[in-house]
A = this chain, B = another copy of it.
Amino acid sequence: MAIQAGVIGATGYAGAELVRILSGHPQVELAAISSVSYAGQPLSAVYPAYYGLCDMVCGTEEEVLDKSKVVFAALPHGLSQEIAKKCYDTDKVFIDLGADFRLKRLEEYEQWYGVKAIYPELHEEAVYGLPEFFRDKIRGKKLIANPGCYTTAVPLALVPALKAGLIEKDGIIADCKSGVTGAGRKSTQDTHYPELNEGMHAYKVGGHRHTPEIEQTLRSICGEEVKVTFTPHLLPVNRGILATCYAHLKAGTTLAQLQQTYQEFYQNEYFIHVLPQGMRADIHHVRCSNFCEIELHTDERTGMLVAVSALDNMVKGAAGQAVQNMNLALGLPETTGLTMFPPAF
């Protein structure tokens, strides 16, 4: 019998992408969806691409909680805490695509998000859902903080080198480029087609909230504080994150060594493609899929590692990874429902 899953906040981009991915999952049934802005309307009224495919009407958060064994929430920060509590009390699996349970240091959470942690014990309980690094902790877990998009792309590009001690911890830079869906569904002047098309700019330089989350993951790997200079940019494409990461090579580190280290590190990872030399990581290659490409270079003149990762911000950077986490939580094969090829064009 199918597992009942529900989505709170289904009319945002991450929520809608969850509905799409769950529709192709052979063991899950979409039980209920909710939306504050579109309560009472079918999802297909908001996303005409789903017309005739998901005309389910948006109900309330309570209805989702009632009907679902697995609850996903894709909400602005602050709003997931009470949902997590209710799921915890009723023994449901809760996978939070928002930011509320990602940061382990509550002072960082409160400082970067301006929100109070209401249930510190739930923060303690929550596991950070980046399966390639924390798979064993995620398995069978009921409260999972699904990482953000940048915070998936940057660590995937850096962790193998950091863990193997091939790069320095100081002076790491992550220059990231994101597709426009990363800015959400709400239309703004910045995302008005004629003003974004044929343009590109950096935003929130030195102050994006994903910074402490990236640092937390790197710190958890190498056991020491790591500081990252992180610059996000907005790209005129719908989907994708390209993370170009720079780190100082330790003396003697070679490209061949790095290439081998990454290939071994990720050799059993279905979703991670460490590209051979000569292939390029490109957001074009991973659209609508849960895959992540990684491309490695060294600049011998300057002693730098340049590691580039590419993923779909809405899939591996949000909804796909959430389903991957659900699979782990429920004890299903991790790739279930996530094996569809990306379109080649």
Closest partner residue, chain B, to A276 (CB atom): B51
CB within 8 Å of B: which A47-84 residues: 47-54
A181 interface neighbour in B180, B194, B248, Cβ under 8 Å? B194
| A99-107, A122-130, A284-292, A323-331: which lies at the interface | A284-292
Of residues 132 to 184 in A, which have CB atoms within 8 Å of B's CB atoms?
A: 171, 173, 175, 177, 179-181
Answer whether A306 and B206 are a contact pair too, CB < 8 Å, given A191-B187, A199-B284, A236-B236: yes
In the bound complex, residues from chain B placing their C-beta under 8 Å from that of A224 are none
Interface string of A35-55 (1 = CB under 8 A from B): 000000000000111111110
Which of B19, B181, B206, B231 makes the CB contact (< 8 A) with A300? B206
Q: Kindly state whether residue A250 has any CB partner on chain B within 8 Å.
A: no
Bound form: Cα–Cα A38–B196 in Å: 21
Q: How far is the CA of A200 from the CA of B51 in the complex (A)?
A: 17
Interface size of A as a range: 35 or more
A311 to B222, CA, bound (A): 40
Q: Is A344 in the interface zone, CB < 8 Å from B?
A: yes
Note all chain B residues with C-beta closer than 8 A to A50: 341, 344
Listed A/B pairs (28) with beta-carbon separation below 8 Å: A13-B345, A19-B341, A20-B344, A23-B340, A24-B339, A24-B340, A49-B284, A49-B342, A51-B279, A173-B175, A175-B231, A177-B200, A180-B194, A181-B345, A185-B192, A191-B192, A193-B197, A195-B345, A197-B236, A198-B287, A199-B237, A201-B281, A206-B300, A227-B301, A227-B302, A231-B244, A233-B242, A239-B345
